[in-house]
Amino acid sequence: MATYLALLRGINVSGQNTMRMPELQDSCASLGLGDVRTYLQSGNLIFSARRSAASRLATAIQAKILRDFGYEVPVLVMPRAELDLLVNSNPLRPQSGAEEKTFHATFLFAPVAQSGFQALELPAAAGETALLLGRTVLLHCPHGYGRTKLNNGYFERALGVVATTRNWRTVRALQQLCETP
């Protein structure tokens, strides 16, 4: 069995697409996924499954959510190894816990060419940084994510892909949850 992370986009946001996490866990467990756990209320799932294509798992979870909850929710699944690589090779990685709140990761649901990303005219404020690492845009927003124009909506429009953003503290917590059965 392999460990996977699933990120759901747009649930429990401003009263939209509300799902209780215990019900989501039960729904996913009924697919045959093992050790299903959630983190926070924003659609973060950790689970184990027989080795399978991440896209196949995402499609199954997305269809199950539609059947059980009535919501069309984009789902991104990544193997634990991909999450580990992202966390361990992040060149923007914060050096102290206090800084951690200014770092974010925008997960893209489809690959984007590095050349396409580099061609963007980023609306970055002074001190802000964004770089593409695999299918993830790593962000440093020293003025706060609520103030940046480098937000989830910007990257969805500019790159033409569905995306979901997590703060770096959540990304690290998800990595730690993947380590514990």
Contact call for residues 12 and 19 (beta carbons, < 8 A): yes
Specify the fold of 2-82: Alpha-Beta Plaits (3.30.70)
| pTM, two decimal places | 0.93
Q: What is the pLDDT of residues 88-129, one digit of tens each?
A: 998 887 666 668 889 999 999 999 999 999 999 999 999 999
Please check the confidence at residue 36 and state whether its pLDDT lies above 90.
yes
Mean pLDDT of the chain: 92
Q: What is the DSSP string of 4-37?
A: EEEEESSSSBTTBS---HHHHHHHHHTTT-EEEE
Nearest CA among 18, 13, 181, 172 for reference residue 84 = 172
C-alpha–C-alpha distance, residues 94 and 129, integer Å: 13
Query: Where are the chain's structural domains?
Result: 2-82, 84-179
pLDDT at 144: 93
- What is the reported pLDDT for 18? 85
Banded pLDDT at 58 (limits 50, 70, 90): very high
Q: What is the pLDDT of residues 120-161, one digit of tens each?
A: 999 999 999 999 999 999 999 999 999 999 999 999 999 999
